[in-house]
Structure 1
């Protein structure tokens, strides 16, 4: 059964929920696109497109379970980016990233996605899973398995083995929730160096200021990331910025006002990109944006094999904006403001939030790893007071969580 509302309509707005903070799911069937054949024991020797061959009607049906629709799609040689009525989906050969806001039932996509991966791609097993979200603004309005974090974890445990769950940060409204699984043991002998073995053991460290770290050099690859590193040769990273209490002056651009001055839909999205400077964050990226009626904005961007995405709920009573990217950024070193701070500051300038939370999640090479490479991430941000900064160290990955207020 498909959704009863038209493409482009917002289910959560119809339901009156206006829940900005998104649910984010990543399901990996292999550590890399190149490893699919070996990891899934496929017989073909051709370079597979993997999950990208799943027919669009099947994906639409899966998304109907979540209560969202596809607005537009952009692609390149590495990934398909779906702009949704309630956020985004990115489909790689070896993994799917699904992000939805409002009262969507994202986890209901899990069994259908596993079914499609098996039917069309021959994928019999999952390599690893990540599920995360910021604390909801209106948790009482959530439905299905999203009524509580405990319900979400219980649902995920039905489909995946070896899962661990965490609530990160202090303050009920500022917490970030994370669920992850260990890598599947029988694919580790094909391990990709960019995605090292992740045992899922966590150690928490309060970050001390003032330590020095060796400088890092930028990649020499053509068309480098504007924030310090090129994409293909760098560890797996994800940066998320969750912003609340947005400037209402800046939010005016995210409302559809007058058809004689501003279009809605995809055309309106381009207008917002240009007016706000979103199109200058990664100037060489391919961007797909949408301005909703009467308000709201979503955007996907592709740069090489990486993505970024924005989502904005501008109403003053529940204003929220999110930014996410896996385009690599350089870590901070000593007291210098390095590209991670430059990225954060440039995003903040677009929305001028009263408070925000940042998560910086990155893999590392065991033989080169040092906590010192992470301790300076998210240092002082001009105009804001840091109320919390913690380093979470996993075997194979590090996470830095920071919360800031004006």
Structure 2
């Protein structure tokens, strides 16, 4: 049983949003960069019953939608729509997305949402409905906030987020990656283990100072491969995720993400129109896509391709413009560039034309080649790379890259 942890009840007060409303817009905090929480309860969907000692029908996808909606009220967001495939449910939220697999879940929320405050409820749901007693692995990440002073609860600082996560998980490590005086990215991760969850008999005293961490601030100078010799496995990684976080977007391109009463509809119809005119629908032509255009502006979409997803979120206002793209669809399965992420990155950049962007590229270590991953970020036309950093974790390799624009803005097509 997971030990109960006392949290300030004012932080847990449910929002007054109705379905489809945007809480952060109401609060005036247009914070595009998302908080991302990924919890693996088992190593794979077909290992749930063996790992958790439950029946083959018990998994996260059996949780009723109203139960998830109740949990999301703690986060301060609502469900707009949902699409389903055999091994994944994709929830489009008022502030980003949630993906539920039989064995894991990914929640990504922007603005002043209180994502981590929902963690106790997520663990309760997994225990009460699915019979899950254990957590196999956890990832939590976010880009540096644009407006950190507007965040609430544990999200007021990276240190408080890490301390909060430490109350629930064993052996977590926290990292700050990139230029600490400029654009950078935060990551918290646990090692893969039979169970990383704190239980009653080994619960840390939450009133004591947070435990020491591998809190790492990486060098801002680019890392370079010393050799082109691969000698690695050529097979496709079993699990990989690419995330592109873009700032200072081309204002002309952003006009398409505004609702106009005379011409551009809002909601699902408006989202589908945005897909067509921007080329988003050409990223994965075979995917099932669920898109939404907000009033007065803003755009979100989820896409499912087999049991993999992609998701896009856009904050178009010029004073805080931001767009994110994320996918766990295997790169070689959908591009002509083999295992290189460069064609995908360039296709996304043509849609948004950012003045700066960061890329994170996770790949399962058992089948990835770190040198090949490093070379995947060697050159992006029209941009100068300011960072390229490799991390090797237990089970995964990560390459982080940051780029600034050196060419004129792209014309609108």
Provide TM-score, normalisation by structure 2: 0.85
Aligned to 2:202: none
Aligned to 1:386: 385
Alignment of 1:288-303 (within 5 A): 288-303=290-305
Cα drift, residue 124 of structure 1: 0.4
Distance 1:287 1:314 in 2: 21
**Structure 1 residue matching 2:111: 3-state secondary structure:** coil
Check whether the contact 2:89–2:99 (CA below 8 A) recurs between aligned residues: yes
Aligned to 1:376: 375
Check whether the contact 1:301–1:307 (CA below 8 A) recurs between aligned residues: yes
Aligned residues: 371
Q: 1:2 to 1:142 in 2, by over 3 A?
A: closer
Alignment of 1:24-103 (within 5 A): 24-42=36-54, 44=55, 47-48=56-57, 50-103=59-112
Deviations 1:157-212 (A, max 9, x none): 1111111100001143411000011122469xxxxxxxxxxxx9999795325732
Q: Does 1:208 align with 2:224?
A: yes
Check whether the contact 2:136–2:195 (CA below 8 A) recurs between aligned residues: no
* Pairing partner for 1:10 from 22, 25, 28: 22
Deviations 1:130-156 (A, max 9, x none): 000000000000000100000000110
**Structure 1 residue matching 2:164: 3-state secondary structure:** helix
Aligned to 2:247: 244
Distance 1:374 1:362 in 2: 9
Aligned to 2:408: none
Aligned to 2:144: 135
Which blocks of at least 5 consecutive residues in structure 2 are unaligned? 1-12, 197-213, 406-413
Distance 1:132 1:346 in 2: 24
Distance 1:339 1:359 in 2: 13
Distance 2:60 2:120 in 1: 15
Distance 1:201 1:33 in 2: 32
Check whether the contact 1:238–1:324 (CA below 8 A) recurs between aligned residues: yes
Q: 1:369 to 1:80 in 2, by over 3 A?
A: closer
Alignment of 1:1-400 (within 5 A): 3-42=15-54, 44=55, 47-48=56-57, 50-185=59-194, 207-208=223-224, 211-214=227-230, 234-258=237-261, 260-330=262-332, 339-365=340-366, 370-400=369-399
**Structure 1 residue matching 2:354: 3-state secondary structure:** coil
**Structure 1 residue matching 2:159: 3-state secondary structure:** helix
Query: What's the RMSD between the two structures over aligned residues?
Result: 2.4
Distance 1:49 1:278 in 2: 36
